Every structure is written in structure tokens, then in C-alpha cells.
A and B are shown apart, each in its own frame.
Chain A
Amino acid sequence: MSRDKAITLHVNGRPETTVVPPHRTLLEALRGLGHVDVKCGCEKGDCGACAVLIDGKAAVSCLTLAHSATGREITTLQGLGSTESPHPLQQSFSDLGAAQCGFCTPGMIIAAESLLRSDPDPTEEQIRHALSGNLCRCTGYVKIFEAVQTAAAVMRNAGEAK
């Protein structure tokens, strides 16, 4: 008997239906749907490359089951911004050279966005804590922390200008 079941995931504001068995992770389901901006790294919650926002909070999609994620708002990196209209974090990571090989970058930006939604003006210590589950093997953490601080300032200024 097949255990496959059709489920609907809400990804970046749009419903997407896929047929997957219960043991399929959200990471596998999202990549199967073409969301390859969600990276597959360690698959055990250590590296943070597969981070997505679930109901606005950063989560590792490798340790979330696809069936368990139905009915929740999932946001991947591409849900934050695009090449034409980048999110301030995407802009600052690009401007400040906070990406080297780029593999950890989607997870870094998702974790940083999760932090900035709850604390728009974090200290460097708070940024380090929020990104403690994201590993960069090119060792570019200094630039990454600068990029988060810069984006936070841009977002605060934009908020005040409104």
C-alpha cells in the first residue's frame, strides 16, 4: 500500500500541491517542487543551509516533515526578494561581499530575517547568537555580521521614512 498523499504547501504566498510519502522532509519536498534556493547540506540540523521561515520563524527544513508543514506559511529566500527587487539583506550581502561560494547564503539570510522580524536593532552578540546554527565553510562570518547590521539599519531607516 502506498503511503503517498497529496498535500498542499503554502510557499512564498502561493499554494503548491505535491504527492509525497509521510517520511519525505520539507527540504526534499521543496526542492522537488523546484525551490532549489533551499540548499541541502548536512540533513541533520547542524549547518542551516536548508533554513526556511515557517510562520515567520527560521526552521531547518531537513528536520521538518512535509506533511507536518501543511497549513503553515513557508517562506524561502526567493520569497523575500528577487534579482530585480532584492530584500535589504540580499542587497547588503551582495554589496559587502558577504557571500563567497554562496551555498550557506540562503540559510544565513533566512536566519537573519527571522532575527530582524523580532528585533530590528540587534547587537553583534545577538546576530552571532541568531546565526549560530548556520555554518559557513568559506569562513566569511565577519562580512556576514556586517551585512546583517547594514541591512538592519537600512530597514530601520525605511521604516522611519514611511
Chain B
Amino acid sequence: MYAEFDLTIPENLPEALKALGVAGKRAVPLSGGTNVLVDIRSQRIAPDCLLDLGHVHQLRGITVEQGRVTLGARTTVGDLLASAEVARYAPALVEAARVFAGQMVRNAATVAGNVACGSPAADLVPPLLALDAEVTLSSVRGSRKLALADYHVGYKSDRREADELITAISWPVPAANAFGGFYKLARRKGDAITVTGVAVSIGIDGRRCDRARIALGSVAPIPMRARKAEALLEGAEMTPDRIAAAAAAAMEECSPIDDVRATGEYRRHMVGVLVARLINAAIQAASKE
């Protein structure tokens, strides 16, 4: 490691919140370390202190209670892959977890860390957006919940106050008629940054759509919902024309840039392709039920 920092290792959540309350902006919470330590090494961040949450075991775990699935903030990507509840209530999240980095990063990286890193290419965020996920933020002042869709406000910028810690991510158990998926377009299956990521969740009532969520990664400063595309589908009959219109709307809504991985034009084109493909796959999955 090139930069120096102090390390605090609290033994439980109250200690962690207290330490964060004192240190504020000078401290960065550390969980899996797969973003924070890389960012320190590459000199993108230079915190005075890291708050290692490795001993705060109460933050790790998956529960299903009162119609909500809740992930403790330290639940790892590997934990998602091993969970029968997540497989049942968030299959698109499992698809994203499968193609997340490499195995050892999956063993360490946490769901909350992927949300907190603020990257537009954070692969777990589009499926969580499609699930209407909420973020729980806690501090010594108390706890509050925010819709994940409101959490990120700009590139690597979010609504977490300096003394707050993400303690949980949760979402309502999806309706029985919800179908969807996630697709990561990247150069390889493992160890690759996403060129375009799309998550879709469609409530299918006969030929009609009663709920639509379309979330896009790597095509805007933050992972985003394609709300115009969603509005075109909700309440409508899902004809090929309507699906094409929704895909075209999603292409309009995103704002991809050119970078080393792809051109913005290619990314925008693939948003259209993948949105239509995932909606059709959801309709097909529903017809098999």
C-alpha cells in the first residue's frame, strides 16, 4: 500500500457508528476492501482512517420477514450465490452476482460496498433498482431509509452523510407474476468491467404489463432507471410494437460516454437490443408457468 492510514476495528455496530460519528469525513468504512483498497492504491482516495467492519458480524446475513427480503450490509456477493432465498426472490440479482469480478473478489465484496462505491458499472445496482430496493442508513443520530433510486445523485456522489453507515439493503418480496433478468455485456464472463448492464422486471397479467422496471448500468453517470420506457409498458398490452417503443425510449433516456471499453453509440445501441431481449425473455418465462 502506498498511502498511510489509521485503522479502527470496532467490535460491534454501536462502536462502529460511534467511531464514524467522531471521524466523519476523515474515515472511510471498509468491508470487503475490493474497491476501497484499490482506490487508495491508485491514489483516487486518501482517507486518514479506515473503519474495518470485519468484526461487526450482525451486519451479515439474509432474512425474509413480513414480505421483505433484507440483506445485512456485509452480506457478500458469494453469500448471494449460496442463498436459496435470494435465488427465489431475486433471480436477476443472482445473475449479476454470478458474473461479478472473480471468485475471490465475490468471497469478499459486499452488496452494500457495491452500492456505496457509486460506480455506474456497479453490477448489483440495476437488479436492485428493478426490485425497488431501499437502503438503510444508520448513525448515532438514528436510522433512515432511502429508495435506492434516490441514493446516487451524480458520478460517485450519494446522499450518505459522513457519519452514516449503510447497514442494510432490502426489497419487497416480488409479486408472483413478476418475471425478469439481468444481462451483463462485457468482454469476458469474469474479471471484466461492464460495457452495458440491463436489469428488467415485468409484472405480467395475461398479455398486459401491470408493473415495469427497467434499470441500466454503465450508460449514465450513475446506474439509472429508464422511467419513460417503464411508463410505456405499464398498463399496456405488450405487443412487439410496444416493446420496440420501450426499447427506443430507454435508448433515448441514457447518456453513455465513449471510453476504452466501448463507444457511447455502441452502448446506446445495446441498451435497445438488451431491453427488448430481456422483456421478451420475461414474457416467454411467464408463458411457461
Separation in Å of the B268 CB from the closest CB of chain A? 28
Contact partner of B54 (CB less than 8 A), chosen from A22, A25, A68, A129, is: A68
User: CB distance A45 to B101 under 8 Å?
Assistant: yes
Contacts of A59 in B (CB 8 A): 104, 107-108
A23 to B54 CA separation, bound complex (whole angstroms): 16
A64 to B38, CA, bound (A): 11
Contacts of B1 in A (CB 8 A): 23-25, 28
Tell whether, in the assembled complex, residue B102 and residue A134 are in contact, meaning their CB atoms are under 8 Å apart: yes
Contact A133 B38 (CB under 8 A): no
Q: Known contacts A129-B98, A133-B191; is A21 also within 8 Å of B4 by CB?
A: yes
* Contact assessment for A67 and B7 in the assembled complex, using a CB-CB cutoff below 8 Å: yes
Residues of chain A contacted by B253 (CB below 8 angstroms)? none
Please determine whether A65 and B34 come into contact, CB atoms closer than 8 angstroms: no
Q: Are B105 and A133 in contact (CB under 8 A)?
A: yes
What residue of chain B has the Cβ atom nearest to residue A21's Cβ?
B4
A131 to chain B, nearest CB (A): 7
Q: Does B9 have its Cβ within 8 Å of any Cβ on chain A?
A: yes
Of B37, B41, B189, most A-chain CB atoms within 10 Å:
B37
Q: How far is the CA of A63 from the CA of B39 in the complex (A)?
A: 11
Smallest CB gap from A61: residue in B? B104
List residues of A (80-128) whose CB comes within 8 Å of B's CBs: 111, 114-115
What separation, in Å, do the CA atoms of A147 and B180 have in the docked complex?
Answer: 38
Complex partner residue of A25 from B37, B52, B108, CB under 8 angstroms: B37
CB distance from A161 to the nearest CB of B (A): 30
CB neighbours of B108 from chain A (8 A): 59-60, 63-64
Chain A neighbourhood of B104, CB < 8 A:
45, 48, 51, 58-60, 111, 133
**Which residues in chain A, 1-53, are within 8 Å of chain B measured between CB atoms?**
3, 21-25, 28, 43-46, 48, 51
A63 to chain B, nearest CB (A): 5
Interface string of B38-49 (1 = CB under 8 A from A): 101110000000
- Interface status of A153 (Cβ within 8 A of chain B): no
**Closest residue on chain A to residue B106 by CB atoms:** A133
Q: Chain B: how many interface residues by the 8 Å CB criterion?
A: 31
Measured CA separation A111–B105 after assembly (Å): 11
Instruction: Count chain A residues whose beta carbon lies closer than 8 angstroms to a beta carbon of B.
Output: 33
- Which residues of A are found within 8 Å of B32, using beta-carbon distances? 63
Neighbouring B residues of A57 by C-beta, 8 Å: 107
Interface membership of chain B positions 187-206, coded 1 if the CB is closer than 8 angstroms to chain A and 0 otherwise: 00111000000000000000
| A155 in the interface (beta carbon within 8 A) | no
- Whether, in the assembled complex, B175 has its beta carbon less than 8 Å from a beta carbon of chain A, the answer is no
B103 CB–A CB distance under 8 Å:
yes
- B273 interface residue (CB < 8 Å to A): no
Given A51-B104, A130-B103, A132-B191, check contact A64 B7 (CB 8 Å): no
State A60–B41 Cα separation when bound (angstroms): 15
Instruction: Indicate if the CB atoms of A46 and B34 lie closer than 8 Å.
Output: no
Q: Which residues of A contact B34 (CB under 8 A)?
A: 45, 60, 63
Apart from A23-B5, A57-B107, what 18 extra A-B contacts exist at CB < 8 Å?
A: A23-B1, A28-B1, A44-B38, A45-B102, A45-B105, A58-B104, A60-B105, A60-B108, A63-B34, A63-B38, A65-B50, A65-B52, A67-B7, A67-B9, A114-B103, A129-B98, A132-B189, A133-B103
10 tightest CB-CB pairs across the interface, nearest first?
A133-B102, A132-B190, A22-B7, A23-B1, A133-B104, A63-B33, A132-B102, A44-B38, A133-B103, A60-B104
Which A residues lie at the B interface, using CB under 8 A? 3, 21-25, 28, 43-46, 48, 51, 57-60, 62-65, 67-68, 111, 114-115, 129-135
A-B contact pairs, 28 of them (CB 8 A): A3-B6, A21-B4, A22-B4, A22-B5, A23-B7, A24-B1, A25-B1, A44-B41, A45-B34, A46-B102, A51-B104, A57-B107, A58-B103, A59-B107, A60-B108, A63-B108, A64-B33, A64-B108, A65-B30, A67-B52, A68-B7, A68-B33, A114-B107, A129-B98, A131-B103, A133-B103, A133-B191, A135-B191
